Amino acid sequence: MYTVGYLGPKGTFTKMAVDGLFDNVNAEGFATIPACIDAVNDGKIDLGVVPLENAIEGSVHLTLDYLIHQVRLPIVAEAIVPIKQHLLVHPSFDGELKDITSVHSHSHAIAQCHQFIHKNLFGAEIHYTSSTGQAAQQVELDGGTIAAIGNELAAKEYGLKIWKREIHDYENNHTRFAVLQREETPIQIKNVENQGYKTTVLVTLPRDYAGALHQVLSAFSWRRMNLSRIESRPMKTGLGNYFFIIDVEQEYDHVLFPGVQAELEALGCQMNILGSYPTYLLSEDINTVENK
Ligand SMILES: O=C(O)C(=O)C[C@]1(C(=O)O)C=C[C@@H](O)C=C1
């Protein structure tokens, strides 16, 4: 049986992703994303599931930066998870929205609900936690007039009341999660919808010059390789120095990708493959506890 690490404690969206992807695994919660990645890298667990990007708030920089700068582990699968954020309170709370004095959650969850907070919880203090599950645990412990933003699974795990459902500011809220493995061996995924393959590459430019990024992109475009995302992250070596993280919508092959790599290297760029993996879309039902 695999041991699969996730950002804990119980009741996080990452745990939901694990439940949606795997049957019969031993799921182990970690307090932080780096702790989970390190455990995979040290061979303490078989797989790790970490958030990569949210449709409303964008990239999870902690994950990207840790994978780029600290621990290079291949991405072996991706799960796209529908995210429904609810306002959770202690069962003893019987006030109104205006009575809530503080809201606890993960920074990404808070960001997905900024408008709701601005309009309805104006004046409530915002407390950032390491995960939505941790915020729910805090409400269970402290009670009173504090609230958490999190999912139905967290409400169930910590015995909380869902005070208001679906408070995220935009519909179609999804988060992409990456499955990491140290040595790539076939993994067993539940019967969920396969959306095709992606390959994620990391490109470093030699220096900043006119048309550099255009040249990089044209190596993909004339080969008709479709890109679904391009993002720059600081190299952390000084202002103006960036990596480009590029998602290509196809599986790695031994013709097109080496061709791109040779072309980029001739320009003085570096290209590394962060993973070539199947992508799975989890169903909306995953947000409803009764359906699991
Ligand atoms: O806090 C959680 O529940 C997580 O799994 C983390 C996380 C994230 O990092 O984006 C995952 C999904 C949601 O977008 C909000 C939070």
pLDDT at position 212 is: 87
CA distances from 64 to 67, 93, 122, 274 (A): 5, 38, 32, 10
Please state the atom number of ligand 1 nearest to the C-alpha of residue 11: 3
Query: Which CATH superfamily includes the segment(s) 3-82+173-183+280-287?
Result: Periplasmic binding protein-like II (3.40.190.10)
Please state the atom number of ligand 1 nearest to the C-alpha of residue 150: 3
The pTM assigned to this predicted structure is 0.95
pLDDT at position 208 is: 76
* Cα angle, residue 153 at apex, residues 167 and 28 outer, rounded to 5°: 125
Residue nearest to atom 10 of ligand 1 (CA): 108
Rounded to whole angstroms, the Cα distance separating 53 from 38 reads 20
Read off the pLDDT of residues 156-214 as tens digits, 9 standing for 90 and up: 999 999 999 999 999 999 999 999 999 989 999 998 989 999 999 999 988 777 888 99
Q: In what order do the strands lie in the sheet with 161-164?
A: 125-129, 102-106, 146-150, 86-89, 161-164
Residue 205 CA, ligand 1 centroid: distance in Å: 31
Is the model's pLDDT at 144 over the cut of 60? yes
What's the mean per-residue pLDDT of the chain? 95
Residue 105 CA, ligand 1 centroid: distance in Å: 9
Considering the segment(s) 195-279 as one domain, its CATH architecture is 2-Layer Sandwich (3.30)
pLDDT exceeding 70 applies to what percent of the chain? 99
Instruction: Name the helix (H) or strand (E) containing 242.
Output: strand 242-248
Q: Tell me if domain 86-164 and domain 195-279 are identical in fold.
A: no
Is the model's pLDDT at 292 over the cut of 50? no
Domain regions of the chain by residue span:
3-82+173-183+280-287, 86-164, 195-279
Is the model's pLDDT at 155 over the cut of 80? yes
Residue 13 CA, ligand 1 centroid: distance in Å: 5
What lies within 8 Å, CB to CB, of 8 at 6+ separation is 14, 15, 28, 29, 30, 31, 131, 133, 134
Best residue among 4, 6, 12 to mutate for probing ligand 1's pocket (most ligand atoms within 8 Å of CB) is: 12
Please give the average per-residue pLDDT across 1-21, as a whole number. 97
Residue 54 CA, ligand 1 centroid: distance in Å: 8
Best residue among 4, 50, 57, 132 to mutate for probing ligand 1's pocket (most ligand atoms within 8 Å of CB) is: 132
Q: How confident is the model at residue 22 (pLDDT cuts 50, 70, 90)?
A: very high
Residue 215 structure tokens: 């040249």
Read off the pLDDT of residues 210-253 as tens digits, 9 standing for 90 and up: 888 999 999 999 999 999 999 999 999 988 888 999 999 999 99
Residue ranges of the alpha helices (H) in the chain? Answer: 13-21, 33-41, 61-65, 107-112, 114-120, 132-142, 152-157, 212-221, 256-266
Helices and strands counted in the chain (H then E): 9, 15
Q: Which CATH class is domain 86-164?
A: alpha beta
What are the pocket residues of ligand 1 if the criterion is a CB atom closer than 6 Å to any ligand atom? 7, 12-14, 51, 54, 60, 83, 106, 108-109, 131-133, 175
CA distances from 138 to 24, 28, 150, 213, 270 (A): 29, 20, 12, 46, 45
Residue 262 CA, ligand 1 centroid: distance in Å: 37
Please give the average per-residue pLDDT across 105-121, as a whole number. 97
Rounded to whole angstroms, the Cα distance separating 201 from 74 reads 11
One-character DSSP codes across 116-161: HHHHHSTTPEEEEESSHHHHHHHHHHH-TTEEEEE-HHHHHHTT-E
Please give the average per-residue pLDDT across 32-59, as a whole number. 97
Nearest to 154 by CA among 189, 106, 187: 106
